[in-house]
Amino acid sequence: MIVLLVGGYGKALLPTATEILWDTYGVPHVFARDARDAFQAFGWAQMQSHGDLLLRLYGQARGRAAEYWGEDYLDSDRWVLTMGVPDRARRWYQLQSPAFQSYLEAFAAGINAYAQEHPDLIDDDVEVVLPVKPEDVLAHLQRVLYFTFVVNPARVRGVEKHASGSNAWAIAPSRSANGHAMLLANPHLLWSEQFLWYEAQIQAPEVDIYGATLVGFPGLAIAFNNHLGWTYTVNTHDGWDAYELQLQDGGYLFDGKVQAFETENLTLRVKQPDGSARSQPLVVRRSIHGPVISQQDNKALALRVVGLDQPGVLEQWWDMARAKNLAQFETALQRLQLPMFTVMYADRAGHIMHLFNGQVPIRRAGDYKYWSGVIPGDTSKTLWTKYHPYHDLPRVIDPASGWLQNANDPPWTTTFPQALDPANFPAYMAPQFMHFRAQRSARMLEEDPQISFEEMVQYKHSTRMELGDRLVADVIAAARQYGNELARQAADVLEAWDRQTEADSRGAVLFAAWTQEVKFPEVFATPWQADSPLTTPHGLVNPQSAVKALETAAGKVRQAYGALNVRWGDVFRLEYGKQKLPGNGGFDDLGVFRTVWFAPQKDGTFTSIGGDSYVAAIEFSNPIRAMTLNSYGNSTQPNSRHNGDQLSLFAQKQLRPVWRSRQEIQAHLEERKVFTAGVRTQR
C-alpha cells in the first residue's frame, strides 16, 4: 500500500514508514527506515523528476536504443555493444555484495513501482524500456563513467570539446574567516542527457547525506554529511589507450606470433518509420588489448580501458557517504573503484585533501604525451595489466597554504607553495600545465588570507577573464601603435572594459572575437613555464599580427551587432526550456572561473549549452552551513514546475539555502510521499 499525502500527515503514516519530502525547489528528501528502503525511495524520486530521461538513458545503456527509437541511435548502440557494456553489467551484478545486490534491486523496484502507479506521467515512447532491472543500472553506470568520461568516440577521434570540466576548492580553518573548513563543489557538464545532475538528501539509520548525482545513478556522487564532504573534478587522468595492431593471416601480430581475435556476431535491430524493424549485423572483434574499434588496410585499432574488472564504485560511494572522519573516508577511497576524477575533501575536524584519484596503469616507460598517442600493439612491452596502488597517487593533505584548488589542471598546481613535485612521480602520471581558469582559481585563493563563506560564494561567481588581464594591455598598446582607425576605436573599447563577462560588460564580446582570430598558444611571446605557473604565458610574440587580428575581429563584431561595445548579455544568452535571459560567465579557455559554454545560433547570438551545473558551497560549522544551485532545475519532466525553475537564480549569480532538517523542509514543503511498511517489491 502506498499513500500520497500533500501538505500534511495522515492516519496511514506509521512511525517506521519511509517517506519523501519534496521541497519547493523539487529536491527530494528521503527519510527511510533502512538502507534498502532508501534506495527504493530514491528510485521512485528519480522517476518522478526525470522518468522519461532515465528510461531513455537506460535503453541506450542496453544497446537497444535503435530498436526502441530508430536510426538516430545506431551509432550509440554500436559503441555500447562493441564495448561489451550489457554483458559486463550482468557480470558486475553477480559480483556485488549480497547487501548491495539488494540495494540495486530496491532502486530498480522503486523505478518500476512509480511507472506502474503513474503510467500517464511517462512518455509512451519510453515505456518500452520497462521493467528496469538492476543490470540496467550498472550498464548505465558503465556507459557514463567508463565510456563517456574515461573515453568516448569523440575523444578517440580527438574532436571532443566542452564535454566536462569542473572547479573545486577546499579551504582549511587557518584560511577561513570563521575558523571552519569549507568546500566548494562546482562541476561543469553539458545541460542535457546523461550529464544532468540530480540534487537530493538521503537519510537512513546509517547515513544522512546531501548532494547530487547524475540522473540514473542510485547513490549521491558529490555530497556532504554532518562530518565531511567531497566533490570531483575531471582530472588529467589517462585511463585508456589506443593500440595499433598489425594484421596477418586473419589475426594480429603479438610478440612475433599471430594471435587470433575473439569474435562475437551480434544483430542490431533498427526501428523503421513505419514501426517495423530491420536487422543489421555487428561483428565485434577483441584482441588481448580490448575491442577493435576501427580497421584500415592491414592495421586495426584496439581500445584498452581501465577499471572494467572493478565493479564496486557504487558501494564505495555508499561507504564514503557513511564515513565520519578522514581515516574512514580514505579507507573507502583506497579501494580505487572509481576509475578517474580528482577528489577534493574537507571536514569538520578541519582537514582538507586533494587526491589525484584514478586507476592509473603501471607502464614500463614513456611520458604522458607518448601514452596520449597511438601505442604499438605488437609487443607485450606496451601492454599494461596492473594499476598503481593508492599510496602511489598524487595526494595533498592539510597544506601549509591552507587551501587547495583544482580546475581540471594537473595535481602539481593544487596549491602554492607547491606541495607536489612531478619528479617524484612517473612521467606518465599527469602532464604539466596550468591553464587560465586554473590560474584565476588559484589567484583568488592566494590573494585573500581570510576567506568568509560569503566571499567564497562571491568568488565562485567571478566572471573576470584571466586571459584578458594577461593580454589586453598589450593588445591596446599595439593597436594604438600599429592599427588603423578601426583598431584604435577597438582599443578604446577594450580600455574601458571591466575585464569581466557580466551581462552588462562592454568589450568582452570584442576581446573574445579577437581570440578567435589568433592562434593559441603561438600568440604568446613567453610560453607557459612550470617555474612561473601563475604569470605565464604572457606578451605578444608579433604585435602587428595581433593588431591585424583585432581589425578583423572588430569588423566582424560591428557588422554582426552594430557596435564594438555591444553588451555581453545581448550576444551570449542563458536558455533552458522556454526561458531566455541575458548571459554572464564565459568559456574555459578565456580563463573565466564562472564557466558557461555557449553554442552559436543562426542570428549571430550564442546560447548556453553547458558549464556551471550543480554548485554547492559548504562550511563545516555546527550546524553545517550550505548553499546550492542546480542551474537548470531538478526535473526534466515536461509538466514539472522544476524544469528550468532555477535558471533565473543562475542568471542573478545566486545560490539557494540547503534545507536538511525536518523543520526546515516542512517550512518549505511542496509534497509528501509516504511508503507504508508493505511497499517493497521483489524482483
Q: How far is CA 184 from the centre of its chain?
A: 15
Burial profile 545-582: b = 16 or more Cβ within 10 angstroms, e = fewer: bbbbbbbbbbebbbeebeebbbbbbbbbbbbbeebebb
Contact call for residues 218 and 137 (beta carbons, < 8 A): yes
Angle made by CA atoms 113, 114, 116, in degrees to the nearest 5: 65
How far apart, in whole angstroms, are the C-alpha atoms of residue 336 and residue 351?
21
> 466-584, what's its fold?
1.10.1400
Cell triple for 441 = 582559481
Question: What's the CATH architecture for 240-305?
Answer: Roll (2.30)
The pLDDT value given to residue 129: 98
Q: What is the mean pLDDT of each run of 10 residues along the chain (683 residues)?
A: 34 64 98 97 98 98 98 97 98 98 98 97 98 98 97 86 84 97 98 97 96 98 98 96 97 98 97 95 98 96 97 98 98 98 98 98 96 97 98 98 98 98 98 98 97 98 98 98 97 98 98 97 97 97 98 98 98 93 96 97 96 97 97 96 97 97 97 75 39
Q: Hey, where are the domains in the chain?
A: 2-161+626-675, 164-235+313-460, 240-305, 466-584
Q: Which amino acid is at 362?
A: I
Distance in Å from the first CA to the final CA of the chain? 17
Contact call for residues 330 and 395 (beta carbons, < 8 A): no
Strand pairing class (572-576; 606-612): parallel
Q: 576 vs 352, 571, 611, CA distance in Å?
A: 35, 16, 13
How far apart, in whole angstroms, are the C-alpha atoms of residue 555 and residue 561?
10
Class of 164-235+313-460 in CATH: alpha beta
Angle made by CA atoms 238, 240, 244, in degrees to the nearest 5: 125
Closest to 592 measured CA to CA, from 407, 446, 435, 437:
437
Contact call for residues 304 and 290 (beta carbons, < 8 A): yes
The pLDDT value given to residue 245: 98
How far apart, in whole angstroms, are the C-alpha atoms of residue 354 and residue 351?
11
Q: Which CATH superfamily is domain 2-161+626-675 in?
A: Penicillin Amidohydrolase, domain 1 (1.10.439.10)
Q: List Cβ neighbours of 94 (8 Å cut-off, separation of 6 or more).
A: none
| Bridge partners, 567 (sequence order) | 506
Q: Which helix (H) or strand (E) segment is 317 a member of?
A: helix 313-322
Q: Which helix (H) or strand (E) segment is 113 a member of?
A: helix 98-117
Cell triple for 90 = 550482468
